[in-house]
Amino acid sequence: MSSDYEYSDDDIDYSDEDDEMMDTQEDGSASSDDDMDMDAFNEDFKVPSKAMRKTYEIEYDTLTQTAVEKAMAADIEHISGIFGVDASVASLLLRYLSWNKERLIEKYMDNASAVSISAGISPPSRSSVSSSAAPIRSHSSSTGGRSSGGLRRPTRQTPGKSRSPTPASVYPDAPSAAPKPEPFVCPICFDDSQTSFLSLSCDHQFCAGCWGAYLTSKIREEGEHSIRCMAEGCAIVAPDPFVRSALADDIPTWERFQELVVRHFVASNPSLKYCPYPSCTHTVSCPVAAHKSALTTIVPIVSCGASGTHKFCFGCPIEADHRPVICSVAKMWLKKCRDDSETANWIKSNTKECSQCQSTIEKNGGCNHMTCKKCKHEFCWVCMGPWSEHGTAWYSCNRYDEKTGVDARDAQSKSRASLERYLHYYNRWANHEQSAKLSIELYSKTEKKMEEMQVTSDLTWIEVQFMKKAVDEVEKCRTTLKWTYAMAYYLEKGNEKELFEDNQRDLERAVEDLSELLESQIDTEIISTLRQKVTDKTVYVQKRNEIMLEDTAKGFLDGRWSWNVSVEGFD
């Protein structure tokens, strides 16, 4: 299926250069000639090579906030190096094209001034001056240490954009500089006591206070990462250094702004995802699952570096771990369960089908002499046989073996087959979920007992840890089992499914055995034998779980599974 999967750790950086030009960072770096840059970047994304990666485990890497910022900075640096523009300009260009370096390079090489204008870097009127997005830094010395970034003082300084500025603007302090109209009143607050004015490259001047309030409102209330000039219809975007200095000492808002930019970077990159756990700041990089098409062959369960419990699926938001089943099937199953389970259960326990027309009938009281509203068929609710055979007896359904009754029940069971089938899988699915919860509860009880034992007997702490390990394993396997039922429900009948169900059965049996062991009475005499048994069983269960996951994952890669319904991504 998708070739993305086959790349080994070592060649992943250069692998899909040919077929996937739109792909993420790796390709961009590969096609560039900026080797230094690239290596530093790839260092961050590289998956530490594990000696033995299981088929059901996928390659991913977890990045801290700082690492993501570094990756982002590397992209900016890269672009800034290629185009010879300032970092803040490169950042605006990248944000404008959603951090897609290839498209940016292509478009920029094609028509730099047009890109600069649409990205809000240079004003349209100056469009004739091409490749001009950079030169803000060329003025940095004249702005008195307020380095790169297009921060302008009201001294009528040049918009840094043009490389051919008028003499006056090149030397803003020269006597020929246009004098500031006196007194200048900020057109927003009309406060004539203001002395400090700022403008972007478009020269629309406003007082520093208004800029601060405006940026704060845009950042805090609208979560904007590209903020335009305040003038009506002006498309110039404020570069980061400008935002920074205009926010003055409002550090929290500046930090929020940086966070918004990083969030935009992560959201724009298909191979990056934020850890969804509350207030977790880690990011996971998983290039193999970046394409939707890959999700038909892999189940990208990842966990962020912050904690092993921060486990989530890179491909979908439905559940933390739905291995071995792929996202689209898991989603389909959950939807079905939400829609159908209760209804199906109710139908099963409260209704029967008319043995003639198969309408579903609810018996709402009265005697067992049923008359189908639809086809007028008269039958006995108890034996399902035709009422005529009951004679005139008010109720004497002792006719269980009568052929007609059996036939009627057969017909009914056939019509219920699909419902029964669904309930079969659903009940097992739900049961494993429930049991997993219960075993955790059980463990908290056992734990106390273990602690007591540690005190009363000569067992060490490490020796009583086997229970914890076993319970963890049981929970993990029950999650696997749970989802195997979702998968089996949709699997097409055949040899493959039988093999799948054999694995499922073996795992289930092992898990139930272990569960039972965990519930046995614990006392000091048998503890050593119990420990031995539990440890052995845990290892076995672990093995079975691995076989289950491994085989299913291989099956996806080999395209071995076929479905009895149409599944997204399969033909």
Partner 1 sequence: MDARLRRVNKEITDCKNDKSSNIKIDLIDESPFHLKGSFPGPQDTPYEGGHFEVDIVIPESYPFQPVKMKFITKVYHPNVSSASGAICLDILKDAWSPVLTLKSTLISLQSLLCSPEPNDPQDAEVAKHFTTSKRSFEETARYWTQIYAGGPGGIAKSGKSPEAVRDDVAIAGLEKAHVDQFEAIGFERGKVIDVLRRLNYRGANVANISEDRVVEELLK
Which residues are identified as catalytic?
Answer: 367
Q: Where do we find the tokens 């007028």?
A: 376
Whichever of 150 and 212 has its CB closer to partner 1, that residue is: 212
User: In the bound complex, what is the minimum distance in angstroms from residue 232's beta carbon to partner 1?
Assistant: 4
C-alpha count within 13 angstroms, C-beta hemisphere, residue 445: 10
Whichever of 201 and 545 has its CB closer to partner 1, that residue is: 201
Whichever of 260 and 436 has its CB closer to partner 1, that residue is: 260
Q: Where do we find the tokens 């920074």?
A: 244
- Alpha-carbon span 427 to 509, nearest angstrom: 17
Instruction: Please name which of 434, 449, 441, 438 lies closest in space to residue 521, comparing C-alpha atoms.
Output: 449
Tell which positions 175-214 bind partner 1, by CB under 8 A: 187-191, 206, 209-210, 213-214
Asked whether position 221 contacts partner 1 by CB under 8 A, the answer is yes
Using CB under 8 A as the binding criterion, the count of chain residues that bind partner 1 stands at 19
Side chain identity, residue 402: E
User: In the bound complex, what is the minimum distance in angstroms from residue 199's beta carbon to partner 1?
Assistant: 13
Letters for 320-359 (x = contact with partner 1 by CB under 8 A, - = none) are: ----------------------------------------
Tell which positions 444-483 bind partner 1, by CB under 8 A: none
Q: Where do we find the tokens 């009754």?
A: 405
Question: What are the CA-CA distances from residue 239 to residues 212, 258, 277, 521 (Å)?
Answer: 14, 12, 32, 69
Burial class (CB in 10 A: 0-12, 13-18, 19+), 496: middle
Letters for 415-434 (x = contact with partner 1 by CB under 8 A, - = none) are: --------------------
Cα 261 from chain centroid (whole Å): 19
Asked whether position 78 contacts partner 1 by CB under 8 A, the answer is no
CA dihedral 35, 36, 38, 41 (to 10 degrees): 170
- Alpha-carbon span 143 to 146, nearest angstrom: 6
Side chain identity, residue 72: M
- Per-residue DSSP letters for 382-411? TT-SBGGGGTT-SS----TT-HHHHHHHHH
Largest interatomic CA distance in the chain: 121
Whichever of 187 and 559 has its CB closer to partner 1, that residue is: 187
User: Which secondary structure element, helix H or strand E, spans residue 301, and what is its range?
Assistant: strand 301-303
User: In the bound complex, what is the minimum distance in angstroms from residue 216's beta carbon to partner 1?
Assistant: 8
Whichever of 211 and 443 has its CB closer to partner 1, that residue is: 211
User: In the bound complex, what is the minimum distance in angstroms from residue 92's beta carbon to partner 1?
Assistant: 19
Asked whether position 11 contacts partner 1 by CB under 8 A, the answer is no
Whichever of 2 and 194 has its CB closer to partner 1, that residue is: 194
User: In the bound complex, what is the minimum distance in angstroms from residue 10's beta carbon to partner 1?
Assistant: 48
- Alpha-carbon span 12 to 561, nearest angstrom: 27
Contact between residue 177 and residue 155 where contact means Cβ atoms under 8 Å apart: yes
Whichever of 264 and 537 has its CB closer to partner 1, that residue is: 264
Whichever of 33 and 232 has its CB closer to partner 1, that residue is: 232
User: In the bound complex, what is the minimum distance in angstroms from residue 14's beta carbon to partner 1?
Assistant: 43
User: In the bound complex, what is the minimum distance in angstroms from residue 206's beta carbon to partner 1?
Assistant: 8
- Per-residue DSSP letters for 507-566? HHHHHHHHHHHHHS---TTTHHHHHHHHHHHHHHHHHHHHHHHHHHHHHHHHT---BSS-
Tell which positions 225-284 bind partner 1, by CB under 8 A: 230-234
User: In the bound complex, what is the minimum distance in angstroms from residue 22's beta carbon to partner 1?
Assistant: 29
Site residues (CB under 8 A) for partner 1? Answer: 187-191, 206, 209-210, 213-214, 216-218, 221, 230-234
